[in-house]
Amino acid sequence: MDFTKGNISKSIFIFSIPIVLGNLFQQMYSLVNSAFVGNFCSIEELAAVGSVYPVVFFITSLILGIGNGGSVLVSHYFGAKDYNKLPQIITTFYLFFIFLGIIVCGLSIVFADNIFSFFDMTPQVHYFAKTYFQIYMFGMFFSVVFHSVISILRGLGDSVTGLYFLIPANIINVFLSYLFIVKFHWGVVGSAWASFISQFLSFLSIALFYRKHIREFKRIEFKQELSILKEIIHLGLPTGIQQSIVSLTQVLLLFLVTTFSTNAIAGYSAAVRIESIALLLVLNITQSLTSFVGTNYGAKQYDRCRKGLKASVKIIFLVGLATLLVFVCFPSSLMALFTSDSEVIRIGKEYIVIDGLFWVLFGVMMCFTAYYRGLGYANITMVISFLTLVLVRFPLAWYLSKTSLQILGIWISAPVTWLLTIIIYCLIYRKANTKILLQNKKSKKK
């Protein structure tokens, strides 16, 4: 897709559709898997899966955040139509991701027991969480490499190809989860192995696709240039750190939740799974905005960058309205998909309703984040995330959880932080004129 011309809102929306569909299948698997675990396994196993989610989110956020740097770099050169350097960037990015995946996934498996010893879990929940996590992280390596190729394709304006690999992989995942959990009664171990197999198959299929397209460029001599790697890290590391800060906050919030009860962990686990559907809509639209801004920045069409931000905010308002209607009107029905325990449903219901009421704030916040990321100014988002999440949200959640609000105070801390972040972004957008940022960036390249 050529982002440098045509209707802006239409371009962003159309580009986001395949991403939404692909991730929707992934999240539908996640929901179905949680439903299998919640209805055919114990409360302890459901709590274990919920405990693993923030930890996995933290690890993948760091890796894929760095990957976004490669995607932004690809979109910059693609927008500038510098086709001679693109193959070098793509190959360096791909090989770097393989190395990164081996290191991070390997360390995660080795230190799994230490990671979950940090949380205040019962011995049974700890055992299930550690076992599930170790098996899952074996497959995570294949998922990391798979998403590196997806990031490259999106940087090139192609959001459709990845859909052809994501849908079959997630259908296989659902089938295997049903087989291993419901029929074979393997519990959370069966869920982990189902993920491992589907991740490997998706990796194998896209690796063959990548190899085929590399052959189309065989006339070009690929060289891993250190300067390219430095540029990828320069753009990607702040994004990786920023996304890791977001996920680290989730881990810290989980720590607060575990101080209440196993039912609280289970309710939080199910609610987060439901939230993930609304989350993917926001993240996929903002991913499209990052690609849009990156391409137009490379093409030096700076006015389209700003118009892209405004168009995305309008789309996000519609998503926020839809989320509000579903989450506020049907919270009990959504929670009932995962458990029949009334206390677990009550806890998860409170989380979902608060999310729904203020979800548009989260969406607008993510639009600003994607905008500056597309410009190559991920440092801004990194600093803001640290200030608002580590220094505001977690302390606020901890304080409110000690009041009469108890666990409800943890949920309330989210919209307060979202609103504060938007205010900061708006001040930056108004006072530090975007044109100045772009001019400074341009002068650095000279």
H/E element, 331: helix 331-335
- Dihedral sign of CA atoms 136, 138, 144, 145 in order: negative
Residue 319 in any domain: the answer is yes
pLDDT of residue 221: 42
pLDDT of residue 340: 80
Domains in the chain, number: 1
List, in order, residues 6 or more apart from 36 with CB less than 8 Å away. Answer: 177, 178, 181, 182, 191
Q: What is the mean pLDDT of residues 129-135?
A: 92
pLDDT of residue 432: 56
- Asked if residue 140 has pLDDT above 60, the reply is yes
- Asked if residue 11 has pLDDT above 70, the reply is yes
Q: Which of 53-57, 108-112, 184-188, 321-325 has the lowest mean pLDDT?
A: 53-57
Residue 416 in any domain: the answer is yes
Residue 3 in any domain: the answer is no
Q: How far apart are CA 239 and CA 62, in angstroms?
A: 8
What percentage of the chain reaches a pLDDT higher than 90? 20
Q: Considering only CA atoms, which of 207, 173, 213 is closest in space to residue 193? A: 173
List, in order, residues 6 or more apart from 263 with CB less than 8 Å away. Answer: 43, 341, 343, 344, 347
Model pLDDT for residues 282-309, shown as the tens digit of each residue: 888 888 898 888 888 888 888 888 888 9
Domain assignment of residue 298, given as a range: 8-445
More confident residue, 81 or 387: 387
Asked if residues 58 and 247 have their Cβ atoms less than 8 Å apart, the reply is yes
pLDDT of residue 323: 92
* 381-395 b/e (C-beta count within 10 Å ≥ 16 → b): bbebbeebbeebbbe
pLDDT of residue 204: 87
Cα–chain center distance at 179: 28
- Asked if residue 68 has pLDDT above 80, the reply is no
For residue 217, the SS3 value is coil
Q: How confident is the model at residue 222 (pLDDT cuts 50, 70, 90)?
A: very low
For residue 220, the SS3 value is coil
Q: How far apart are CA 19 and CA 26, in angstroms?
A: 11
* 244-254 b/e (C-beta count within 10 Å ≥ 16 → b): bbbbbbbbbbb
Q: Which of 142-146, 249-253, 404-408, 439-443 has the lowest mean pLDDT?
A: 439-443
- Asked if residue 429 has pLDDT above 70, the reply is yes
- Asked if residue 1 has pLDDT above 60, the reply is yes
Residue 125 in any domain: the answer is yes
Residue 2 in any domain: the answer is no
Residue 279 in any domain: the answer is yes
- Asked if residue 193 has pLDDT above 90, the reply is yes
- Asked if residue 316 has pLDDT above 90, the reply is yes
Residue 346 in any domain: the answer is yes
Q: Residue 118 — φ and ψ, nearest 5°?
A: -65, -30
